[in-house]
């Protein structure tokens, strides 16, 4: 069975995380995704990861986690011949994704207008740190600098989260925009230009906080003990009593096992939560420390109150729940390596990993032949170093 996006062709002129991850979403769903890299300066993610042997082969794990199901074209787009070759390829494509700094591809004659002149229906997605307008439009960025610029690190008490979540959220956001443009095209008969901003994605992830700060700049952050972390006898437990009704249910749960907290029965509105949060927290701290996290999970889940022990990543990926869902898939090239799929399942046409991440230039000749280049033309490009 074909994936849901079988028949869609995407050219991904990309590097590092955000755009490759965006392209990976389409590749998992059966789209024909062609990753274009410079022969002498490929995606630096190819050399990153904990296994040096793979890094040296140009297929490091940082590259592999978003490189499967794609084809690789090593093409020097800095040369006139290379640029013309890419434009010929664009004539056969539905989408182009790129994440160079604003203006870089335009300066090479590979901007949206250049590509639209060759393919009026092309959907061109430019993924940058700050978007293509404004005083920071041409400024380079990485996930960590966007976390700093967006206020994310400040919101986390000055500590940078140890994951590249902005890159990956930007990839999802751009994939959604591209999908919308693909649905729009049959109605309009036209392509679309998309400017995706990592900064705006980061702010979107803090939407409630950003809106509240603008509406009430002097307001302090609301305290909510029911969605806080508590020390237990053997670890930290994250409690998930969010709504007023869940506070009351928590009170009944604790009273049932001999730990009454009278204040919980009087929580009927958000204002009650905010006004009594400090007192509730003190009471819960004294209670949760008395038993293990595992025992508390049994008690709380018996009352349908969400709670989870704060887990390490190593324990999280070994969870039976993750295995049951089949989130990780064995690499088609190496069964000892497992790679992530997608965070959803579909009854038909869903995500599937069938092809190993390609080595640099692995599919160059095949791709160019399909674009209409003759064998002699491809040989000449290889001899000139424009294609690998």
Sheet containing 32-37, strands listed edge to edge, beginning at the edge strand earlier in sequence: 70-74, 32-37, 9-13, 95-98, 123-128, 192-197
Mean pLDDT across the stretch 196-224? 92
- The domain spanning residue 240 has which CATH number? 3.30.1540.10
Q: pLDDT class for 120, splitting at 50, 70, 90? A: very high
Q: Are 120 and 203 found together in one domain?
A: yes
With respect to residue 329, please indicate whether it lies within any of the assigned structural domains.
no
Q: Residue 150: what pLDDT?
A: 97
Q: Which of 310, 341, 376 is the last residue of a domain?
A: 310
Does 264 reside within a domain?
yes
Same domain (yes/no): 301, 189: no
Q: Are 99 and 18 in contact (CB under 8 A)?
A: yes
Angstrom distance (rounded) from CA 76 to CA 37: 7
User: CB burial class (10 A; 0-12, 13-18, 19+) of residue 299?
Assistant: middle
In a domain, residue 218? The reply is no
Do both 171 and 233 map to the same domain? no
**Structure confidence at residue 202 (pLDDT):** 97
CATH classification of the domain holding 180? 3.40.50.10540
Residue 49 pLDDT exceeds 90: yes
Last residue of a domain, one of 310, 332, 347: 310
Radius of gyration of the chain (CA): 25
Examine residue 322 and state whether it is found in any structural domain, yes or no.
no
49 and 133, same domain (yes or no): yes
In a domain, 371, yes or no: yes
Asked whether residue 261 falls in the same domain as residue 289, the answer is yes
Range of the domain at 66: 9-208+356-384
On whether both 124 and 260 belong to a single domain, the answer is no
pLDDT in tens, 146-168: 999 999 999 999 999 999 999 99
- 114, 167, 304, 379: the catalytic one is 167
pLDDT at 222 (0 to 100): 85
Q: What's the average model confidence in pLDDT over 129-137?
A: 97
pLDDT band at 219 (very low <50, low <70, confident <90, very high): confident
Q: What is the pLDDT of residues 3-34, one digit of tens each?
A: 999 999 999 999 999 999 999 999 999 999 99
Q: For residue 336, tell me if it sits in a domain.
A: no
Assigned domain for 369 exists: yes
Q: Which two tokens stand for residue 8?
A: 């869609």
pTM of the model: 0.94
Residues 6+ apart with CB under 8 A from 248: 264, 265, 267, 268
Residues 202 and 53 in one domain: yes
> Is the CB of residue 346 less than 8 Å from the CB of residue 336?
no
Domain final position from 310, 340, 366: 310
In a domain, 220, yes or no: no
Report whether pLDDT(221) > 90.
Answer: no
Alpha-carbon torsion 370, 371, 375, 379, what sign? negative
Domain count, the chain: 2
My answer on whether 52 and 102 are in the same domain is yes
pLDDT digits (tens, 9 = 90+) for 243-282: 999 999 999 999 999 999 999 999 999 999 999 999 999 9
CB 76 within 8 A of CB 388: no
22 lies in the same domain as 120? yes
pLDDT tens sequence across 324-350: 999 999 999 888 899 999 999 999 999
| 1: pLDDT strictly greater than 80 | no
| 40 is known as an active-site residue | no
The helix (H) or strand (E) run that includes residue 255 is helix 244-256
- Same domain? For 295 and 240 the reply is yes
Mean pLDDT, the chain, integer = 96
Residue linked to tokens 């976390």: 147
Same domain, 167 and 279: no
Residue 42 predicted with pLDDT over 90: yes
For the chain, give the percent of residues with pLDDT over 90. Answer: 96
Q: 236 with 165, same domain?
A: no
């Amino acid at each position: 069975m074909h994936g849901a996006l079988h028949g869609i062709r995407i050219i991904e002129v990309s590097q590092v995380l955000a755009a490759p991850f965006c392209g990976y979403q389409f590749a998992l769903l059966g789209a024909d995704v062609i990753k274009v890299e410079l022969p002498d300066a490929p995606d630096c993610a190819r050399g990153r990861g904990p296994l040096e042997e793979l890094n040296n082969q140009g297929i490091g794990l940082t590259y592999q986690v978003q490189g499967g199901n794609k084809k690789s074209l090593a093409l020097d787009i800095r040369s006139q011949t290379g640029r013309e070759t890419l434009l010929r390829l664009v004539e056969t494509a539905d989408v182009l994704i790129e994440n160079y700094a604003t203006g870089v591809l335009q300066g090479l004659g590979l901007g949206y207008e250049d590509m639209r002149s060759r393919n009026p229906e092309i959907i061109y997605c430019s993924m940058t740190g700050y978007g293509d307008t404004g005083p920071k439009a041409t400024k380079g960025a990485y996930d960590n600098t966007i976390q700093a610029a967006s206020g994310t690190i400040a919101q986390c008490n000055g500590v940078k989260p140890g994951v590249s979540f902005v890159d990956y959220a930007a990839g999802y956001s751009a994939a959604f925009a591209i999908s919308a443009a693909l649905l729009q095209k049959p109605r309009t008969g036209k392509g679309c230009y998309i400017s995706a901003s990592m900064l705006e994605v980061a702010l979107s992830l803090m939407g409630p906080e950003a809106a509240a700060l603008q509406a009430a700049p002097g307001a302090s952050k609301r305290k909510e003990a029911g969605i806080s972390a508590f020390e237990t006898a053997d670890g930290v437990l994250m409690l998930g009593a969010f709504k007023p009704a869940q506070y009351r249910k928590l009170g009944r749960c604790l009273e049932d096992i001999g730990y009454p907290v009278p204040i919980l029965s009087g929580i009927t509105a958000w204002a009650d939560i905010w006004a009594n949060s400090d007192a509730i927290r003190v009471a819960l701290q004294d209670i949760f420390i008395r038993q293990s996290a595992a025992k508390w999970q049994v008690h709380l889940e018996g009352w349908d109150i969400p709670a989870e022990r704060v887990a390490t990543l190593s324990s999280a990926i070994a969870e039976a729940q993750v295995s049951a869902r089949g989130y990780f898939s064995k690499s088609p090239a190496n069964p000892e390596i497992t790679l992530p799929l997608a965070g959803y399942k579909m009854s038909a046409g869903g995500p599937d990993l069938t092809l190993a991440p390609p080595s640099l230039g692995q599919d160059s000749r095949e791709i160019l032949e399909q674009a209409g280049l003759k064998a002699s033309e491809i040989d000449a490009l290889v001899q000139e170093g424009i294609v690998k």
